């Protein structure tokens, strides 16, 4: 029986994406253990997947504490004699892979859930991250990439070779189904939103930073009918800034800053929405877009990779996010187009559902099962 250690920086990664992986590994006869920073999401993952848990704090930024994390992981991996160490996300990916190689683990795998080295970084950080990623890649047997863009990025930046990469897309969980929404959660979200009768709801799910197109999304409310509202699921460093923007534009009474919405509550929120907007400037996968489509929501999103790789051209409305002006104009035009045309919304909804079926849990498990059998067993 192969002993496999799965490592993430924080629990939300595992809770959102990895429980089916843990279950598939167990069904294929592997002995699975999970390690991450101990938090609520890690605890929920352990309960759902029924796997042993090794708590180890891993900072999300480069820190002297990384040496402590490395040492704890090294000692644990060495003592348990794991056959496979599989890391996820940049920080756990580096610390975990270094500990695994020093402990002599024969098979080290890394899943790249997004772009570690991207245009938004300073020159210094780009050089540093590239050095660290290339160093870790030499000690990695195989990469799982969630999109073709991630694979292309790893290869074009000289991090690894294409032969070492396998593309396995993420998935929309079975709870993202219009027929399976929990009525109690829907009632709770409806009360929390506090919308008046006849409200038309736009929804975003994103970290509260500028490159997610949130300032432009908030600003379009000023030019839309008074019964159009915006719900933003997410939190981040710019919450106060965006709240102030809504106040300056005098639309604060039409914006709902919900903070981080639990993964179990998101289907309920989407079921109460009329349009989903993701005007992001960059993306690693965009699972929120697929989840919205799985709920049958018309989607307005950015015409960038990997989104255009994942979505059929007729399954969403696309905007140009190259500047603030094109982003705002694109969102406004698309919302206006859909707002007054229920038939067009219904047609887009049907195409969205059709596209989302490609990213079902069943397809994910089939892909990961093939990978396990070919690379681990």
For the chain, which residues make up each domain, given as ranges?
A: 3-171+361-375, 178-359
Predicted local distance difference test score (pLDDT) of residue 230 = 98
Which residues, including other chains, have CB under 8 Å from residue 247's CB and lie 6 or more apart? none
- Rounded to 5°, the CA angle 100-106-111 comes to 60
Structure tokens at 104: 């002599």
Is residue 306 reached through a cis peptide bond, with omega within 30 degrees of 0 on the bond before it? yes
Domains 3-171+361-375 and 178-359 belong to one CATH topology:
yes
Which residues, including other chains, have CB under 8 Å from residue 103's CB and lie 6 or more apart? 74, 77, 78, 82
> How many helices and strands (H and E) does the chain possess?
16, 13
Residue 71 burial class via C-beta count within 10 angstroms: exposed 0-12, middle 13-18, buried 19 and up: middle
Predicted local distance difference test score (pLDDT) of residue 64 = 86
Residues in the chain: 377
| Alpha carbon of residue 244 to chain centroid | 27
Which residues, including other chains, have CB under 8 Å from residue 30's CB and lie 6 or more apart? 1, 2, 3, 4, 84, 372, 376
Helix axes 90-102, 123-137, angle to 10 degrees: 40
The residue among 179, 361, 182, 187 whose CA lies nearest residue 264 is 182
Q: Provide the 10 A C-beta neighbour count for residue 77.
A: 25
β-strand partners of 256: 231
Structure tokens at 278: 């993701």
pLDDT tens for the chain, residues 1 to 377: 899 999 999 998 999 899 999 999 999 999 999 999 999 999 999 999 999 999 999 998 888 889 999 999 999 999 999 999 999 999 999 999 999 999 999 999 999 998 887 777 788 888 988 999 999 999 999 999 999 999 999 999 999 999 999 999 999 988 899 999 999 999 999 999 999 999 999 999 999 998 899 999 999 999 999 999 999 999 999 999 999 999 999 999 999 999 989 888 999 999 999 999 999 998 888 899 999 999 999 999 999 999 999 999 999 999 999 999 999 999 999 999 999 899 999 999 999 999 999 999 999 999 999 999 999 87
- The CA distance from 34 to 45, in Å, is 9
In this structure, are residues 64 and 34 in contact, taking their beta carbons and an 8 Å threshold? no
Structure tokens at 13: 């990664």
Residue 48 burial class via C-beta count within 10 angstroms: exposed 0-12, middle 13-18, buried 19 and up: middle
Q: What CATH fold (topology level) applies to the domain 178-359? A: Rossmann fold (3.40.50)
Q: What is the pTM of this model?
A: 0.88
- Rounded to 5°, the CA angle 36-114-290 comes to 100
For 283, which DSSP code?
A: -
Order of strands across the sheet that contains 228-233: 255-259, 228-233, 200-205, 275-278, 299-302, 317-319
β-strand partners of 144: 111, 166
Q: What CATH fold (topology level) applies to the domain 3-171+361-375? A: Rossmann fold (3.40.50)
Q: Provide the 10 A C-beta neighbour count for residue 167.
A: 16
- The CA distance from 161 to 156, in Å, is 9
Q: Cα-flanking dihedrals φ and ψ of residue 38, to 5°?
A: -70, 115
Structure tokens at 268: 């309920």
Q: Which DSSP helix (H) or strand (E) runs through 127?
A: helix 123-137
């Amino acid at each position: 029986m192969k002993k496999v250690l799965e490592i993430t920086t924080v629990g939300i990664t595992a809770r959102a994406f990895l429980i089916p992986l843990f279950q598939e590994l167990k069904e294929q006869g592997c002995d699975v253990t999970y390690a991450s920073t101990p938090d609520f999401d890690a605890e929920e993952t352990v309960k759902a997947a029924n796997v042993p848990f090794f708590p180890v704090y891993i900072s999300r930024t480069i820190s002297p504490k990384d040496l402590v994390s490395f040492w704890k992981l090294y000692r644990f991996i060495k003592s348990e004699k794991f056959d496979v160490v599989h890391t996820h996300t940049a920080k756990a990916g580096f610390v975990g892979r270094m500990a695994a190689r020093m402990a002599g683990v024969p098979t080290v795998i890394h899943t790249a859930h997004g772009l570690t080295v991207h245009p938004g970084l300073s020159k210094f950080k780009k050089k540093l991250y590239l050095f660290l990623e290339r160093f870790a890649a030499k000690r990695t047997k195989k990469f799982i990439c969630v999109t073709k863009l991630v694979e292309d990025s790893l290869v074009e930046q000289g991090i690894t070779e294409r032969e070492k990469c396998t593309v396995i897309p993420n998935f929309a969980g079975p709870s993202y189904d219009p027929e399976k929404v929990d009525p109690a959660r829907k009632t709770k979200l409806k009360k929390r939103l506090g919308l008046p009768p006849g409200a038309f709801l736009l929804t975003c799910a994103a970290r509260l930073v500028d490159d997610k197109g949130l300032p432009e999304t908030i600003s379009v409310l000023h030019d839309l009918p008074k019964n159009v509202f915006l719900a933003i699921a997410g939190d981040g460093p710019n919450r106060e800034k965006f709240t102030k923007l809504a106040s300056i534009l005098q639309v604060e009474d039409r914006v709902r800053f919900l903070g981080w919405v639990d993964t179990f509550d998101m289907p309920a929120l989407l079921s109460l929405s009329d349009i989903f907007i993701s005007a992001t400037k960059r993306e690693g996968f965009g699972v929120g877009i697929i989840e919205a489509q799985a709920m049958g929501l018309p989607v307005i999103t950015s015409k960038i990779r990997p989104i255009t790789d994942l979505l059929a051209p007729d399954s969403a409305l696309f905007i140009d996010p190259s500047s603030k002006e094109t982003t705002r104009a694109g969102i406004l035009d698309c919302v206006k187009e859909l707002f007054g045309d229920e038939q067009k919304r219904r047609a887009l909804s049907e195409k969205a559902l059709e596209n989302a079926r490609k990213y079902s849990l069943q397809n994910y498990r089939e892909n990961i099962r093939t990978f396990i059998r070919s690379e681990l067993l």
